Chain A
Amino acid sequence: MRAGFSRFARNRLALVGAGLLLCLVLLVVLSPLLYPGDPFRLAGPALRPPGGAFLLGTDTLGRDVAAEVAYGARTSLLIGIGATLGAIVFGVIVGGLAGFYRGAVEVALMRLTEFFQTIPAFILAILIVAILSPSVTNEVIAIAAVSWPGIARLVRGEFVALGGREFVLACSGLGAGDARIIFRHLLPNCLSQIIAVGSLLIGTSILIEAGLAFLGLGDPNVMSWGLIISAGRAVLRSAWWICTFPGIAILLTVLGINLTGDGLNEALNPRLRDR
């Protein structure tokens, strides 16, 4: 792990990514201090261009875009990380069980995975939000529901490949329980892969959230970047700042996450190491 860290630290792009993420975390932590109160508050006159009292201008109702973007960071990260964790937990359970027990369990679980992959992902997410009603929790559920099959397939594949390795066979020969083999031997061995794919999933989840909000399916009570963009879209041509800043925020965040994820991947993935 230490070696992995120093490899990561030598990767300049990865450091840029980590720096971007650090800024984001700072923004989340500091936003209540910088912009106390409700980001939905009508702070001043509508459609003020950036500058003066309003660093990033105001939106159609006169809300401070800077405050909106600052608070939106919280929601985007929450949804991105929440949905990714959900997808990983569910994907690991399904993929792990299928890869470990094989046979009928594998067939049944993999058919379920395939079923979720036959429905167009974005439409499935919309359908789930429609069934559950739009809220942050339900958006997390919807995005996790369309993201887990990828993880499940990955984990199953790794488990199948590792299951035949000598050390696992040796463990079971020594009478180690299933749980012990799974948690002590199999999972740690595919952790690096899960981390690499998972970090990318956070970015994808943030993009899906923005897309849902763009189509009017976001949670209207919680400030998010997608919500700001969908609100500013109507005035894109006359008030460019409303759409542009949250758009850039999404871009930088996803970029930061992906750069960091790439760095982690290169640092942790044993197959990429020695060159």
Chain B
Amino acid sequence: MRLARYVGYRLLLAVPVILGIVVLNFFLIHLAPGDAASVLAGESGAATPEYMALLRHKFGLDQPMSTQFFVYLLNMAHLDLGYSFRNDSPVAALILDRLWPTALLMLTAFASALVIGTGLGLVAATGRNSWRDNVISLVSLVAYATPGFWLGLMMIVVFAIRLEWLPTSGFDTVGAYNEGWAEVVDVARHLVMPAVALALFYLALYARVMRASVLEQTGMDYVTTARAKGQTERRVMTGHVLRNALLPIVTMAGVQAGNLIGGSIVVETVFGWPGIGTLAFNALQSRDLNLLLGIFFVSACLVVLINLVVDLVYVTLDPRIEI
């Protein structure tokens, strides 16, 4: 009950924060020079002045900024993300379309990075300065230092073209119309390379953080006390160290929540993955401001939510913290 009240309180608190974000976003985005009409006309080759005027009117760009702002606020008040005139489609539909591929890619990459990364970090820390520590540290540092797009390009050359094990790009085989299990396998085959390209970076990060965190915890007084009491090394690890060492990992995961949406632009570009990152990039490039604002709004909501979850995880991991 207390938990429910706390969650409710936090969500209530989030409303003014998100409102502020919505307003700030609007003005930040409108600082970008140029407009959607000129981009569209530019792509069309030449255009007549009448055509440009027509487009600006259609997009609402002929309205004063105050009116545009007011319309935007009014829409947001109804939780209406507006209309993308460039794409001839409601913003919400465009974002929803990309949500599933994005979630699939990011969660796969994130979850595997989290599990494997913390595991490797633990292994490294328990054998500090041994060969396995050095190997894990070095490998994770190399992974951390490798540009994701570069790795992606190299993987396509090796696994898609030379070995023909995996498809080059996309979300599933177009025109194959697989169903059931076949579709799952098909999507999974497309998922492997982008997920690996993304996960390696995070995996390295978590391994590093976990290693440092475990080392820090094992230096604490309570561990010495526990050891002195004659508890086994295994019991010390699982009972005391691990629990506390996970806290920075949780913090780190929370900080990266904002990257869930934008962090994969480059990898999405290389693998032609229909994610929100490239949608946002294209929206920015073409000054599709409604769409970009919509993505920023969804991203803000997600970050606020994930921060809440992180705090709740904290509570379960660390009994000293009270809500």
Contacts and interface: CB of A to CB of B under 8 A. Distances in A.
Contacts of B145: 203, 207, 250-255, 258
Contacts of A258: 141, 144-145
Residue in B137, B141, B266 whose Cβ sees the most chain A Cβ within 10 Å = B141
A275 B269 CA distance: 46
A123 B284 contact: yes
B137 A131 contact: no
Interface string B259-279: 111110110010000000100
Contact of B216 (A124, A255, A262, A272): A272
Interface residues of A, number: 46
B152 to A, nearest CB: 10
A265 B150 CA distance: 29
B281 A120 contact: no
Given A119-B258, A123-B281, A243-B153, A111 B17 contact: yes
Contact of B138 (A13, A118, A153, A214): A13
A243 B149 CA distance: 11
Interface residues of B, number: 50
A127 interface: yes
A120 B259 contact: yes
Contact of A123 (B141, B150, B265): B265
B17 A211 contact: no
B280 interface: yes
Interface string A232-275: 01001100000100010011111100110010010000011111
A176 to B, nearest CB: 31
A122 B134 contact: no
- B25, B28, B269 interface centre (most CB from chain A within 10 Å): B28
A255 B141 contact: yes
B144 A120 contact: no
Given A123-B265, A237-B157, A243 B32 contact: no
A62 B92 CA distance: 48
A251 B145 CA distance: 5
A181 interface: no
Interface in A170-204: 203
Contacts of A210: 147
Contacts of A207: 145, 147
Contacts of B141: 255, 258-259, 262
Contact of A211 (B147, B208, B212): B147
B175 interface: no
Interface string B209-251: 0001001101100000000000000000000000000000000
B31 interface: yes
Contacts of A262: 137, 141, 208
Contacts, number: 129
A126 B144 contact: no
Contact of B299 (A120, A274, A275): A120
B153 A118 contact: no
Contact of B31 (A122, A131, A215, A259): A131
Contacts of A119: 25, 258, 262, 296, 299-300
A87 to B, nearest CB: 14
A250 B20 contact: no
A114 interface: yes
B215 A272 contact: yes
A150 interface: yes
B280 A120 contact: yes
A215 B142 contact: no
Contact of A117 (B31, B138, B265, B303): B303
B303 A215 contact: no
B216 A271 contact: yes
A215 B285 CA distance: 11
B178 interface: no
Contacts of B263: 120-122
A131 B33 contact: yes
Contact of B266 (A211, A237, A252, A275): A211
A80 to B, nearest CB: 12
A115 B147 contact: no
Contacts of A211: 147-149, 265-266
A237 B153 CA distance: 10
Nearest to A12: B134
A118 B300 contact: yes
Interface in B136-167: 137-138, 141-142, 144-150, 153, 157
A253 B147 CA distance: 12
A274 B255 contact: no
A273 B280 CA distance: 45
B29 interface: yes
B32 A130 contact: yes
Interface string A12-53: 110000000000000000000000000000000000000000
A251 B201 CA distance: 12
Contacts of B25: 119
Contact of B265 (A12, A13, A130, A215): A215
B34 to A, nearest CB: 9
A46 B146 CA distance: 27
B41 interface: no
A131 B27 CA distance: 12
Given A119-B25, A123-B280, A255 B32 contact: no
In order of increasing CB-CB distance, the 4 nearest A-B pairs are: A120-B262, A254-B145, A118-B300, A123-B262
7 contacts: A12-B134, A130-B32, A210-B147, A233-B153, A251-B145, A271-B219, A275-B215
